[in-house]
Structure 1
Amino acid sequence: MSDERMPVYRVLSGSVAILVGLGLARFGYPPLVPGMVEAGWFSAAAAGYLGASNLLGYLVGALTASRFGERVGAAAAIRFSLVLIALSFLLCAWAAPFAWFFVWRFVSGWAGGVLMVVGASTVLTTTPPSRRPMAGAMVFSGVGLGILFAANIVPWLTAVSVSWAWAAQGALCLVLAGATWWAWPGKQASPAAASPASEGARAGRGLSLVVLLVVVGYGLQSVGYVPHTLFWVDFLAREQGHGTGFASVQWSIFALGAIIGPFFSGWFAGRIGWYGALLVSVTLMAGAVLLSSVAEAFLLVSLCSLVVGAMVPGLVSMTSGYLAQLVPLAQHQRAWGWATTSFALAQAVGGYALAGVFGVVGTYPPVFVIGGISLALGLVVTALTGSGRARA
């Protein structure tokens, strides 16, 4: 039936929005740091603060995205954010004061938060229910594509010129913004037919508690992301003594997992439902993060890299899809904004806390154990939603 067809152009454009907003705006920055430090633009410490400014901007973006999208419209919010990120790269393509870079890194984070909330929600709520698992997979695979680009292309660009690396990413963002410009509706498109679960949720007073549990569980799960996204490469290269070559291979495996993870999640959710797929996936990630604290053999380390890499965007995709099942589609953007804010806040706090733990104990395994425990707690909280969730 025609009303069950996936809006392919919009779904692919959603993937581009996530690629630009998170894959490039966040993961395209770390490979630039060594070149900037060597060129004398900033010290390593200053470059680290610039990276943190992006996380702060992302948190503010998640907090304000829903209201901003409602005020200016989804299409305008998405296009504006894509252009802002392109400008944030282009306007940092030469040496400038720290404050200049801080502002533009913050702006890129804010725009990334808007794209995550408004872009993802616009795609999911205008896609027929039967197509949402695959649509979500395609959208959130943009994270993995950005990580892969950052891991393999950005270092090569930086070796040519730091300025060229900044400018090239800005130009790529402009091209991608132009290619997807007309994918977004001039007005917020009418939501695709809601499932009975979503419709029934309108009258359910207990729904707010269920959504709150999903949001809290998602925040706890986000702490489990921190060990691999911040410390995995250094843990393998220095503490385990495998060297940078081994660690680089593992980061590429992580990126590969981040590309295929959303598709696995979409396939899995299509067969056992969002709730069951989310619980199984959180369990897998918790096990892989805990195992990472002791894994040293190449195959075991690679398995951890692949599973955690797959679950990083996979859990994002499944949480967004699960919320689309739990709430009326008109409320999905706001609920997803709450979840993204919880994720961003807990990840930021968790990042500083785990860095503090490492500073005290001087070794990484306890950091991974704490991350695994946080995922397990998130699993318990999410599992509690099974008794009160709306059912199709």
Structure 2
Amino acid sequence: MKKQTYLFLIGGIFSLIIAMGIGRFAYTPILPLMQKDLSLSNTTAGYIASSNYAGYLLGAILACAIPFKKYRTNLLRVSLISILTTALMGLTYSNLLWNVLRFLSGFASAFVLVLASGIVLDKLATIRKTSWSGLFYGGVGLGIFLSSLMIPSLNHLFQWEGTWIGLAVVSGVLAIFVWIWLDETPNVVENKNKQDIIVKVPPTKWLIWLIIAYGLEGLGYIVTGTFIVSIAEKTSYFHNGATLVWMMVGLAAIPSCLIWSILAKKWGYIKSLVLAMALQSLGIAMPAFWMSKTSFVISALLFGATFMGITTLATTLGREMNPSDSSRTIGILSAIYAIGQLIGPTLAGVLSSFTHDFNSAFIGAACVVLFGAISLLSGIHFENNPNIRNSTIQYKQKRIN
């Protein structure tokens, strides 16, 4: 049974590598390659990025609005169609089609994230391994790191067009294992006994503050998430090796989710979220005040060490606040996150075209994330005080073998 559990978790990790690490975030390191060959402006690049986030927004809304709990696994498998949209990015030179493809990719990636999160987090809760959620969400960082390793070679051999297609081929191979291993069936649950699980979280009314903070995170983090490699590529520090910056993001992101999960267990989710967002805001602003190779690497490491950690903390906390309908709660959080992501790249692209640099965009994004961290502070009081009404949610979870 343990082997089945590990393969189940690996299947979930692979689904995030496909849909998020590659399908969603590969655009960031490939963008400077496309801009170099095609002379794409920052504004055009921002619109293409925003198309992806618009699709992600629609996908997240539908994922939380449609009651599909009995069909989560099948819908997840269908959503891996994002592999095709990745491949097609390398088969066209049309801005319109790029926008359409990135929209569809975003739509599919939202479904994969929401569905896989619900499936995997529910499973981990039944075996009392919620701290393993950090391993699951580490799949995004692993996907970023692996794609960053492959992109320079693929670009050297096949140019940017072949890079998209090559990443799609890798995704297709991983999808086979997702189909086999990520199967939500009753026999994966390991305990027959009925148990009471007590989870200390803020009152359910406080969920609105988590939603607001997560939306601000989406608005702020995505500026770095979209443009940092493109900006680094245009400096004299990297000599056509700016993919290194994105590799640092992925490298830091791989262990970050597990580390933040461990810290949350020790300090509480909200304290951990506040710290992660504060550190991220520092990393976002750093290139605006200190332009050097070192600053880009530190910024990338801080960004990678926090952006998926924040997602891990927010979605796990949201699930524990509403365990009976985890996919809907995660979908709501993903939708507000997507609204921020939709606005961020467009604003940053237009602002950079007007000011001829990204300094204002970085500073503004850092302030937005920091404000989100500040908005969470009230929750620390609730999380630390077990006597506040509704601060402890008790629910019974039936374990069926």
Name the TM tier (shorter chain). Answer: 0.7 to 0.9
Q: Partner of 2:370 in structure 1?
A: 376
Identical columns (%): 19
Q: Partner of 2:139 in structure 1?
A: 142
Alpha-carbon separation, structure 1, partners of 2:165 and 2:306? 31
Q: Partner of 2:64 in structure 1?
A: 66
User: How far off its partner does 1:190 sit?
Assistant: 7.6
1:154 aligns with 2:148: no
Range with bigger deviation, 228-237 or 209-218: 228-237
Alpha-carbon separation, structure 1, partners of 2:33 and 2:130? 41
1:362 aligns with 2:356: yes
Task: Tell me: CA distance 1:46–1:187, structure 2 relative to 1, closer, same or farther (3 Å).
Answer: farther
Task: Tell me: CA distance 1:194–1:266, structure 2 relative to 1, closer, same or farther (3 Å).
Answer: farther
Alpha-carbon separation, structure 1, partners of 2:331 and 2:215? 12
Alpha-carbon separation, structure 2, partners of 1:32 and 1:363? 20
- Does the CA-based 8 Å contact 2:50-2:346 persist in structure 1? no
Q: TM-score, normalised by structure 2?
A: 0.82
Q: TM-score, normalised by structure 1?
A: 0.84
Q: Partner of 2:289 in structure 1?
A: 294
Q: Partner of 2:109 in structure 1?
A: 112
Alpha-carbon separation, structure 1, partners of 2:283 and 2:319? 28
Pairs aligned (count): 379
C-alpha offsets along residues 95-150 of structure 1, whole Å, 9 cap, x if unaligned?
A: 475555443332221110001111112111111374212x2211211221222233
C-alpha offsets along residues 335-385 of structure 1, whole Å, 9 cap, x if unaligned?
A: 111111111111221222233333333333322221221112101222222
Task: Tell me: CA distance 1:302–1:391, structure 2 relative to 1, closer, same or farther (3 Å).
Answer: farther
For 1:153, what is the secondary structure of its paired residue? helix
Q: 2:271 aligns with which of 268, 273, 276?
A: 276
- Does the CA-based 8 Å contact 2:32-2:230 persist in structure 1? no
1:317 aligns with 2:312: yes
Task: Tell me: CA distance 1:293–1:188, structure 2 relative to 1, closer, same or farther (3 Å).
Answer: farther
Alpha-carbon separation, structure 2, partners of 1:123 and 1:382? 26
- Does the CA-based 8 Å contact 2:118-2:326 persist in structure 1? yes
- Does the CA-based 8 Å contact 1:16-1:176 persist in structure 2? yes
User: How far off its partner does 1:79 sit?
Assistant: 0.6
Task: Tell me: CA distance 1:97–1:359, structure 2 relative to 1, closer, same or farther (3 Å).
Answer: closer
User: How far off its partner does 1:257 sit?
Assistant: 1.2
- Does the CA-based 8 Å contact 1:62-1:117 persist in structure 2? yes
For 1:195, what is the secondary structure of its paired residue? strand
Q: Partner of 1:86 in structure 2?
A: 83
Task: Tell me: CA distance 1:188–1:353, structure 2 relative to 1, closer, same or farther (3 Å).
Answer: farther
Alpha-carbon separation, structure 1, partners of 2:218 and 2:64? 21
Aligned partner of 1:310: which letter? A
Q: Partner of 1:185 in structure 2?
A: 184
- Does the CA-based 8 Å contact 2:31-2:45 persist in structure 1? yes
| Structure 2: 5+ residue stretches without partners | 384-390, 394-401
CA RMSD of aligned residues (A): 3.3
Task: Tell me: CA distance 1:163–1:289, structure 2 relative to 1, closer, same or farther (3 Å).
Answer: closer
